[in-house]
Amino acid sequence: MNIHIKSVLAALAFSFLFYSNSLGLNLFIIAIIVSILLKTTNKKEAGTWAYYIAYICSALFVFVNPTGYTIFVHIMTFLVFIGKSISTKSSLYLSWLFGIINMLTASVINFNEKEKQPTKKRSISPKTLNTIKGVSIAFGFLFLFTLLYKNANPVFSNLVTQINLDFISVPWLFFTFLGYVLFLHILQPYSPKELIALDDSQTNNLIKSEVPLSEKILKKVSEEHNLGSIIFGALNMLLIFFLITDVIYLFNDNTISNAQYSQSVHQGVYALMFSIVCAIALILYFFRGDLNFYKGNKRIKSFTFIWIGLNVILVFFTCFKNYQYVETLGLTYKRIGVFVYLLLTLIGLTTAYIKIIRIKNFIYLVRTNTALLFACIFISASIPWDKMITLYNLNTIKNPDIQYLINLGNGNSKQLYNYARENNITSSYKEQITTKYSEFIKKHSNRNWQEYTLYQFTDNNIK
């Protein structure tokens, strides 16, 4: 089937599912349609099954838990998926960039490329063009003669008047046209071959020079080794001293206020953040080239590995302090963010260790950390955070911050409503919870089937 015909049919389905509708079941359906179209249209370079599954699952996340974050993750996964459909071997960050370029300008670039090749045969045959021309002219004459016959015959005029074409509107036509352009970009993408080739040529390993190092270079490498050893040695001594004081602080029997404890956690995260950024910059500088192959580099490597190990200990100390904070005052998005950042820090430290031990380059760090960051973001979208925070705080904390839970998204409305009915809380909180729950029920009860989410299938009050 011609790509333009596929795009038109897909655009009509797109318009039917999304026009004047919010996101829900329609997003999951269109994800399946896009996957089938790509798999059948471009069988050679249609991505891997892992990205098909990730794209469909991200749409499922929105269906289960429709929040701004899950929608953002779905859009990001969609762009990566489109990029991977163009080149499966490209780095993840480039796939994301390819997705953005194609969604915005693919048809314009492809048109310019075709203009540069005037001798290339047209994809549409003269017979097809003649048919399209005939149909267009026929519709024009039908419209003109309908107006003439309408004024000449009252019976015919009555029949024509009864035809309801209200569903066809300028906004709907524009929305459908955008859908056509979207699917045309998906099915006939622009492939930046030069950029793909450049990315494929980049290896993850540092290449050792085949020519023996000259005395001048050896002297320079030796000086860098001594300088790096001094810097990492000094950083290790400072970090050891800091960790000792942190242990004393953690196991001190003196009680401190919640504000002081919060400040301690946040300052620890800020210190860790600055420490990691500076030290990884130093690692990239000192281990950028010949020092990796210098036989006398054991001292700086040892100091660097000690520094990485000490930072791992610091990560666990900070994690423990944040856990105690959560255990006392409950979960919040900021405290969850601290845990996520600490996890990403561990990942960064691990990849930095691998970079040194296996003599990897900067490209390796960018590719690996980008892929792992995307995996963390994708997995986090599968968790209904509002519900999890509410469940933990209401069942674990003696005096949960009800106002904070009320200010969260609508996903926890039913949890709060049940809690308010079963527990004695202030009338102000109860009134806010009742209003929130009523608005939640009203919003989801008025949805069309295209907008259905998991709530419509599981909550009897919404059905």
Picking from 152, 184, 204, the residue at the C-terminal end of a domain is 204
Residue range(s) defining the domain that contains residue 425: 385-458
Question: Which tokens sit at 287?
Answer: 């281990």
Do 57 and 126 fall within a single domain? yes
Q: What sign does the CA torsion over 281, 293, 362, 47 have?
A: negative
How far is it, in rounded angstroms, from Cα 97 to Cα 103?
10
Task: Tell me, yes or no, whether 365 lies in a domain.
Answer: no
Residue 363 structure tokens: 């490209």
Quote the pLDDT of residue 43: 60
**200 and 219: one domain?**
no
Asked if residue 238 and residue 177 are part of one domain, the reply reads no
Q: Residue 432: its pLDDT value, please?
A: 94
Give the pLDDT of the chain (463 residues) as one tens digit per residue: 578 888 889 999 999 999 888 999 999 999 999 999 888 876 655 557 889 999 999 999 999 999 999 999 999 999 999 999 888 888 998 999 989 988 887 766 766 655 555 554 555 566 666 777 777 787 777 777 776 776 777 776 777 676 655 555 778 888 888 998 898 888 888 888 888 888 888 888 887 776 676 778 888 888 888 998 999 899 899 889 888 887 887 777 555 666 666 676 777 777 777 777 888 888 888 888 888 888 888 899 999 999 999 999 988 988 888 888 898 889 999 999 989 999 999 999 999 999 999 999 889 999 999 999 999 999 999 999 999 999 999 999 888 999 999 999 988 999 999 999 988 888 899 999 999 999 999 988 888 889 999 888 887 777 6
Residue 248: both structure tokens together:
């004393």
Tokens of 77: 């996964």
383 in Cβ contact with 399 (< 8 Å)? no
Q: Are residues 195 and 223 in the same domain?
A: no
Instruction: Give the chain's domain count.
Output: 3
In DSSP notation, 29-40 reads HHHHHHHHHHHH
Contact predicate 384/64, CB 8 Å: yes
Kindly state whether residue 18 falls inside one of the protein's structural domains.
yes
Which of 204, 225, 248 is the last residue before a domain boundary? Answer: 204
Q: What is the value of pTM for the model shown?
A: 0.83
Residue 24 near residue 60, CB atoms below 8 Å: no
Contacts of 250 (CB under 8 A, 6+ apart): 317, 320, 321
C-alpha span between 343 and 120 (Å, rounded): 53
Q: Are residues 25 and 167 in the same domain?
A: yes
Domain boundary pick from 326, 360, 394: 360
- For residue 415, the model assigns a pLDDT of 93
- The answer to whether position 371 is within a domain reads no
Residues 6+ apart with CB under 8 A from 356: 283, 287, 292, 301, 304, 305
pLDDT of 164:
58
- Say what the pLDDT of residue 414 is: 92
Q: Which pLDDT score is estimated for 438? A: 92
Single out the residue of 374, 376, 408, 377 nearest to residue 391, CA to CA.
408
Separation between Cα atoms, residue 123 and residue 5, nearest integer Å: 12
Q: What is the pLDDT of residue 218?
A: 82
In a domain, 5, yes or no: yes
**Residues 317/246, Cβ–Cβ less than 8 Å:** yes
Residue located via tokens 């020092």: 291
Q: How far is 316 from 353, CA to CA, in rounded Å?
A: 17
Same domain assignment for residues 75 and 159: yes
Q: Rounded to an integer, what distance in angstroms lies between the CA atom of residue 48 and that of residue 125?
A: 33
Domain presence at residue 224: yes
Note whether 292 and 405 are same-domain residues. no
The pLDDT value recorded for residue 71 is 95
d(CA 103, CA 443): 31
Please report the pLDDT score of residue 463 as a whole number: 62
**Looking at the domain assignment, is residue 253 inside a domain?**
yes
